[in-house]
Amino acid sequence: MCDMLNRIWSRPRREWTRVLRRELPAVAARTVDELLRNTPGFAPAVERLGRDVAQAAVEQALILALGLRVGAAARQALPAPARPAGRVVTTMPVARARQALFAALAEERCLPAKALGELARAAGWPLPGRARAVILANPSATETPHLTAQLDAALGPGLLGILDTDVCLLVPDPGPEARTALTTVLGSRTAAVGHAVPVADAASSLRWARRLLALTPAAPAGEGRRPVFVDDHLSDLLLLQDESLARALSDRWLGPLDGLTPRQSERLEDTLLAWLESGAAPEAARTLQVHPQTVRYRLRQIEKLFGPALREPRTRFELELALRSRRLLAQSRRPRARGGSGRARAAGTGIRPLGPGRRARVNGL
């Protein structure tokens, strides 16, 4: 590190950034070596991701930590101005350009279209019109290249990157057939697939796919592993967009349950939500797998707690939002055991959108 600093300081100030970028791969390699020697928990991550991927992630982290954000990387990828004859001009290596391109697309800021296009050309990745994020849960070092090749064959070339410890892919979305292809290729893997967005908005697809994966419990091998799609959980994720407002909504409408024991409160919450979703006691009973008379008894308790306001459509709508919010907030606070065998209820389990024929009916009481 001292040698690197000496090399940087020996150059004119205007060249520091360029020299620092040139030195970063070696620094990243030494950092990985030190972490492997001195941080026991780092070795399993490197084994899972592969040495090259881990080193690329460390280099990307150093770029961000040192303030050498994607704009600087993009400028390196742009055509260099004319230089005197005899000067050798080198282009950014493809691997570095792909890292910079992924970072540019993953960041919550807008890179000019021209710079993004030049960086994509340097990376050898044709920018698709629309793209989806795919977040893989616990991929092995050998699984990631194989899966990437399969997705490339099915949808076109993808872009691999690392966000924190998540292995992420940006894949083209050619249209309705994309979901079928993703479901087929991902098979029984635990993964989260983001919604389709213009490629410049890929950060949004990445953000919500990562959030959905964090809410999805890890299933043991051979027990119902499958990819989850943001498209199927839009309302749930929308409720969690602002957790403070979601908690405020729950506090406002679910206050009548506060005087109950936790078990009583949970039972009545589940019953009320099942009734609001299904619209009648028999359907709610089937959802809860209890006798309809049990549901009717609980609904009478609920009516005593909430009063006549329960018959107002707006109140029922906000109650359903509050109940879903409380369930989702509890799920989001439950840490995901990556690769574990937890059986926590998945985000949105049992939650179905109400169609015209499934709106809550007052006679369900």
Which of 14-23, 293-302, 337-346, 351-360 tops mean pLDDT? 293-302
pTM of the complete model: 0.59
* Chain Cα centroid distance, residue 63: 22
Query: Could you tell me the domains of the chain?
Result: 128-239 (3.30.70), 241-364 (1.10.10)
pLDDT of 67 reads: 61
Closest CA to 102 of 163, 52, 192: 163
Per-residue pLDDT of 81-99, as tens digits, reads 344 444 333 456 788 888 8
Q: Which of 307, 301, 223 is nearest to 267 (CA)?
A: 301
Lowest pLDDT segment from 159-163, 295-299, 309-313: 309-313
Please report where in the chains the tokens 């943001």 appear, as a residue: 230
Q: Name the 3-class secondary structure at 293.
A: helix
pLDDT of residue 16: 56
pLDDT at residue 110 is higher than 90: no
State residue 337's pLDDT score. Answer: 45
Contact 100, 77 (CB under 8 A): yes
pLDDT, tens only, 220-248: 555 557 899 999 988 888 887 888 888 88
Q: How confident is the model at residue 133 (pLDDT cuts 50, 70, 90)?
A: very high
Q: Is the pLDDT at 29 greater than 50, yes or no? A: yes
Q: What percent of the chain has pLDDT over 90?
A: 21
* pLDDT interval class at 36 (50, 70, 90): confident
CA distance 149 to 185: 10
The confidence score (pLDDT) of residue 218 equals 63
Query: Which has the higher per-residue pLDDT, 329 or 82?
Result: 329
Task: Using DSSP, state whether 297 is helix, strand or coil.
Answer: helix
pLDDT in tens, 190-205: 899 999 999 999 999 9
* pLDDT for position 159: 93
Q: What is the mean pLDDT of residues 155-175?
A: 90
Q: Which two tokens stand for residue 55?
A: 């080193």
Report the percent of the chain where pLDDT is more than 70.
72
